[in-house]
């Protein structure tokens, strides 16, 4: 797993992307790169680095959040616009803390039932 981030209690992992989602992210990044240089080469998945580029971070995160939360990409991207660089780094670090440490046949354990004790 190359990267993952946490946003509003959800963990988004690169490993969970479908081929369609990954290609849509490549397409969006390529379009953005070509805004400044109409002949920029197509972005490939191996070049995408959300922790090394704000543009990459916004495109990757907004696509993944939009898909899971059933939002438009524009709405998801706008929700990320006020985040600081440190906030983005913390979102990627926090995802590590939210991942299960034990698995059963490759699956994380089921969440515990909420307690009604007070």
Q: Give the position of tokens 């009604």.
A: 116
| pLDDT by residue, tens only, the chain of 118 residues | 478 899 998 999 998 899 999 999 999 999 998 998 888 899 898 888 888 889 999 999 999 999 999 999 999 999 999 999 889 888 887 655 544 455 565 554 554 444 455 4
Find the helix or strand (DSSP H, E) in which 108 lies. Answer: none
pTM exceeding the 0.85 threshold for the entire prediction:
no
Q: Where are the domains of the chain?
A: 12-98
Residue 32's Cβ-count burial label (10 Å; 0-12, 13-18, 19+) is: middle
């Amino acid at each position: 797993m190359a990267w993952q981030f946490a946003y509003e209690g959800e963990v988004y992992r690169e490993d969970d992307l479908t081929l369609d989602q990954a290609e849509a992210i490549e397409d969006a990044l390529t379009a953005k790169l070509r805004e400044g240089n109409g002949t920029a080469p197509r972005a490939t998945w191996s070049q995408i680095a959300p922790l090394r580029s704000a543009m990459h971070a916004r495109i990757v995160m907004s696509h993944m959040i939009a898909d899971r939360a059933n939002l438009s990409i524009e709405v998801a991207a706008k929700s990320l616009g006020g985040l600081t660089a440190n906030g983005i780094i913390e979102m990627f670090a926090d995802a590590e803390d939210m991942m299960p440490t034990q698995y059963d046949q490759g699956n994380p354990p089921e969440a515990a039932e909420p307690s009604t004790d007070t």
